[in-house]
Amino acid sequence: MRATKKIVRHGFLLGLALCASVAGRQTAWGQMAGTRFPEETWMRYVDVREAGFDPVELEAARATWQGMPSSALLVIADGAVVAAWGDVGRRFMCHSVRKSFLSGLYGIYWDRGQIELNKTLADLGIDDDPDPLLETEKQARILDLLKARSGIFHPAAYAGRTDSRPRGSEKPGRYFAYNNWDFNTTAAILKQETGADVFQAFDEHFARPLEMEDWRLSDGYYHYERDKSKYPAYPFRMSARDAARFGLLYAREGMWQEERILSEHWVRRSSVMYSIDTDVMGYGLYWWILREPRFARYGAFAALGVGNQMIAVFPEADLVIVNRANTYQGESTPMPALLDLLDQVLRARTGTGAPHPALAPLEVEADPLATTLPRERLEEFAGEWPYPPASLGLPAETTLRITPGEGYLSVYSPVEGTFRLYLQEDGSLHQEDSLQRYLPVRDQAGKLQGIAEEADLSRAEGRAERSEQSPAR
C-alpha cells in the first residue's frame, strides 16, 4: 500500500483515536467492522451468502435495477463487493457529488487547524464580480456556506440561481437554500486559506491514500461562467468503484487501513442533519441525510448529483451503495425508484457475514476501443481547433486543445474538461468514458480542419441539404 500521512486533529490524541478505530466497532449485524479494505483492487464475495445476503433476494434486486435507467450500481458490505452491476469502472460525471468531496477536504484542513469555520466573508475579503455582494451577505460564515444557509442568492456557474428569493431577503444562517454560489465559493475560500487546489488536494488526501483505480488528476476541471460569478464550479468524473472507496472511508468514520484520514468528529459533524429539505431528505455539511426510518436506523447519508448519481453510506451496517447514471446521454435514475432499490438491497441482507469469506478480485472489462498508437500517427491532430470546425457552417461553441499522449490523444475543452481520444483504424476518434465518436474534418486537399461529433456532421449535412432545396431569392 502506498504511504499515507497520519492526520491529527488539533486538541485530540492520535493514540486514543487509533486504538478506538483499529479495534473496530460492533455493527447491527453482530460482527466487527472496519478490518477489511480494498487495496490495489476491490475484492468480491465468491458466495454472497458469506456476506450475509440472500442470493435470491439479491437477484431480485438486480432484476429491479435492470429495469431502471442506471448505468452502474455497486454494493459494498464489510469492505468487499456484494454486487457490481453495469459499468462500475467507467468514469461518469459526478455533478453535485463534488460537494461531498469538498466537504471531505474541509475536514482535512479543519482537523489540522488550518481553517476557521466561523470566519465571515467580510473577514476573508470575499466579494464577487460583476455583481458585488451586499454588506449583509458578507456576514455569512464559512460554516453557513457549508450548510447551504448563507442567505446569498447570487447567480453561479454550473446552475445559475437555484433559489428565486430576492437578494438580502434572508440573514445568514436562517434559511436553507441549495445554491451553487455557496458551493463554488467554498472551493475558492479553501484555496485562499490553505493554498490547496481542489483537485490536487483531493488527489493527495483521498485518491492516493485510498488507492483509487481509475481516477486521474485530469478528471477534474474548473468551469467558469464569468457573466454570473468569478467563482468557477469544479466538476469531477469518477468511476463507481472509486466513488465507493470514498464512501467506505465515511462508513469507517475516517479510518483507512491503519491510517486516520479524517477525524471521527468531522465525519459525524458533516453527516448530521442541520436542515430539513423534504420528508425524505435533510442536509448536513454538503451531504444529504436520508430521513426515512428505513434508512435512518442505519445512520444513512448520501452524496447526490444530477441524474441521481449517488454514494449512499450506511455506517451502522458497514454498507456503501453507489449509483451512476450516464448523463453523457441524458440518463437519469428516478429518486423514488432508487430509494426503493436501496431498501430492497438492505432487506436482502438477512444474516451476519462469515468471519473468513472466500474472496476473489473484482474484474472490470477494459474499454475495447482503447488503442495505443505511435506518436507519429497522432501528431497531425496536435493544436487548438475551433469546435465545431468553421467549415461545417455551425455556430462556434468553444476551442479544443489536443495534445498527443502515450499512445492516445488528450483533448481539453473548457466545457467538458479533459478526455482521452483513441484513434481507430477507420480514422474515427473514440472518446473515453462518454463513448462519443468523432470524425476528422478535412478540406478538399485532405488537410485537417478539426474534429466533429457525428451529430454535428449530420446537422451540417442537413443544413446544406436544406440550403440547396430552398428557393432562390
Contact at 8 Å (CB) between 267 and 250?
yes
pLDDT 10s digits, 446-457: 999 999 998 888
CA 278 to chain centre: 23
CB atoms within 10 A of CB 465: 10
Secondary structure (3-state) at 443: coil
Per-residue model confidence (pLDDT) at position 471 = 52
CB atoms within 10 A of CB 191: 13
Q: What are the Cα distances from residue 154, in Å, to 112, 120, 130?
A: 31, 17, 11
The residue that leads in pLDDT, 312 or 456, is: 312
Residue 32 has pLDDT above 80, yes or no: no
Residue where one domain finishes, among candidates 315, 331, 361 = 361
Residue 212 lies in a domain: yes
Residues 282 and 425 in one domain: no
User: Residues of the chain with pLDDT > 90: what percent?
Assistant: 85
Q: Are residues 390 and 322 in the same domain?
A: no
Do 412 and 461 fall within a single domain? yes
Of the candidates 361, 386, 408, which is a domain's last residue? 361
Secondary structure of 48-101 in the HEC alphabet? HHHHCECHHHHHHHHHHHHCCCCCEEEEEECCEEEEEEECCCCCEECHHHHHHH
The mean per-residue pLDDT over the stretch 15-40 comes to: 53
Which sign does the torsion angle of CA 77, 78, 82, 84 carry?
positive
Q: What is the pLDDT averaged over residues 433-445?
A: 95
CA gap 439, 193 in Å, rounded: 45
> What's the rounded mean pLDDT across residues 245-251?
98
Global model pTM greater than 0.75: yes
Q: What is the pLDDT of residue 463?
A: 58
| Bond prior to 130 in cis (omega within 30° of 0) | yes
How far is the C-alpha of 205 from the C-alpha of 216, rounded, in Å?
14
259 and 395 inside one domain:
no
Asked if the structure places residue 367 within a domain, the reply is no
Residue 40 confidence (pLDDT) above 60:
yes
Q: Identify whether 4 is part of a domain.
A: no
Residue 26 lies in a domain: yes
Residue 413 has pLDDT above 80, yes or no: yes
Query: Is the residue at 225 inside a domain?
Result: yes
Residue 42 domain-assigned? yes
pLDDT attached to residue 363: 96
Q: Which three cell numbers stand for residue 378?
A: 497522432
Average of pLDDT values for 286-297? 98
Whether the ω angle into residue 388 lies within 30 degrees of 0, i.e. cis, is yes
Query: Distance (Å, rounded) from C-alpha 173 to C-alpha 178?
Result: 13
**Rounded Cα distance, 313 and 299, in Å:** 8
Amino acid symbol at 398: T
**DSSP labels for 141-182?**
BHHHHHTT--------TTTS-S--SPTTSS-TTS-----HHH
- Do 348 and 396 share a structural domain? no
Average pLDDT value for residue range 67-86 = 98
| pLDDT given for residue 96 in this prediction | 97
Question: Is residue 395 within 8 Å of 408, Cβ to Cβ?
Answer: no
- The three cell numbers locating residue 38: 480494498
Q: Which three-class secondary structure string do you get for 219-275?
A: HECCECCCCCCCCCECCEEECHHHHHHHHHHHHCCCEECCEECCCHHHHHHHCCCCE
Tell me what pLDDT residue 461 has.
74
Q: Does some domain include residue 98?
A: yes
Q: How many residues does the chain have?
A: 473
Q: Are residues 193 and 107 in the same domain?
A: yes
Percent of the chain residues topping a pLDDT of 70: 90
pLDDT category of residue 286 using cuts at 50, 70 and 90: very high
- Whether residue 411 is contained in a domain is answered as yes
Number of domains forming the structure of the chain: 2
The SS3 assignment for 393 reads: coil
Q: Note down the domain range covering 245.
A: 14-361
| Structural domain ending residue among the three candidates 336, 361, 386 | 361
* Res. 25 pLDDT band, cuts 50 70 90: very low
- 166 pLDDT exceeds 80? yes
pLDDT grade for 164, boundaries at 50, 70 and 90: confident
Beta bridge partners of 323: 73, 310
pLDDT for position 192: 98
The conformation of residue 218, written as its DSSP 8-state character, comes to: G
Alpha-carbon distance 313 to 373, whole Å? 41
Assign 359 a pLDDT band (cuts: 50, 70, 90): very high
Residue 379 CB neighbours (<10 A):
11
Confidence (pLDDT) at 10: 36
Contact status, residue 243 vs residue 321, Cβ threshold 8 Å: no
Same domain membership, residue 58 and residue 203: yes
Task: Say if residue 347 is in the same domain as residue 400.
Answer: no
Is 404's pLDDT higher than 60?
Answer: yes
Supply the CATH number for residue 326's domain: 3.40.710.10
What's the mean pLDDT when you consider all of the chain?
91
